Amino acid sequence: MKEIVDLYQYERKLWNQGISYIAGVDEVGRGPLIGPVVTACVILPKDFTLEGLTDSKKLTEKKRNEFYEYIMNHALSISIGIQDEKIIDQFNIYEATKLAMYEAIEKSSIVPEHILIDAMKLENLKIPNTSIIKGDAKSISIAAASVIAKVTRDQMMYELDNKYPQYGFASHKGYPTKKHVEAILKYGLIDGYRKTFKPVSTLLEKTVVCKK
């Protein structure tokens, strides 16, 4: 029997302490070979409900897009953090993800009283916070942030696909699939690839940088 997870367990505990503005923070894009890491910071109202909301990776694209619109229309605050491949190559993906999370939190139109973060620990965060392993499947706020970040980054990949359809970004979203690697070997590297990622640096030895 499938375990029913209470997605309000962390929020309810904080609400009972008199805390109203709880932000959920999550990231998308740590694994792809190309493009930025994207984070979202979402503050939901106490009466927010959305049946079926969970980790964005477990949702179909159609359902994610539906949930994205609903969250955009009902959240108290939504902000995005983006760190591109240059920052990723300079600092590494883990530190770039932290920077993107800090950015999203800073951009929030409402200052959170407590922040629920999926897995990551933000040591320099001055606001009280809780890091939750697999938080996007345990917290309604983090789940909402997961959907916002995922749809935002996917849209970037669709735009890249329109410009470079031969790479298939619309299907693999930049992740290292067999077809993606084959496209790189055939067409070369375009701007946006994370050159410090081992699969990319290895491919650099076998291919050329594609001119715009």
Structural domain spans, the chain: 9-161, 163-204
Identify the CATH homologous superfamily for domain 9-161: Ribonuclease H-like superfamily/Ribonuclease H (3.30.420.10)
Q: What is the mean pLDDT of residues 61-84?
A: 98
Q: What is the mean pLDDT of residues 41-70?
A: 95
Instruction: Look up tokens 């690697």; give the residue.
Output: 181
Contact of 181 with 101, CB cutoff 8 Å: no
Name the helix (H) or strand (E) containing 10: helix 9-15
**pLDDT for residue 204:** 77
Asked whether residue 114 carries a pLDDT value surpassing 60, the answer given is yes
Q: Which residues contact 40 (CB under 8 A, 6 or more apart)?
A: 25, 26, 78, 79, 80, 81, 104, 145, 146, 148, 149, 152
- Report which of 75, 39, 76 is spatially closest to residue 151, judged by C-alpha positions: 39
Q: What is the mean pLDDT of residues 89-96?
A: 97
Q: What percent of the chain stands above pLDDT 70?
A: 95
Cα–Cα dist 69/180, whole Å: 30
Cα–Cα dist 151/66, whole Å: 10
Q: What is the mean pLDDT of residues 135-142?
A: 96
**pLDDT for residue 4:** 59
**pLDDT for residue 212:** 46
Residue 121: phi and psi, rounded to 5, are -115, 125
Where does the pLDDT of residue 207 fall: very low under 50, low under 70, confident under 90, or very high at 90 and above?
low
Cα–Cα dist 112/104, whole Å: 12
Cα–Cα dist 127/122, whole Å: 10
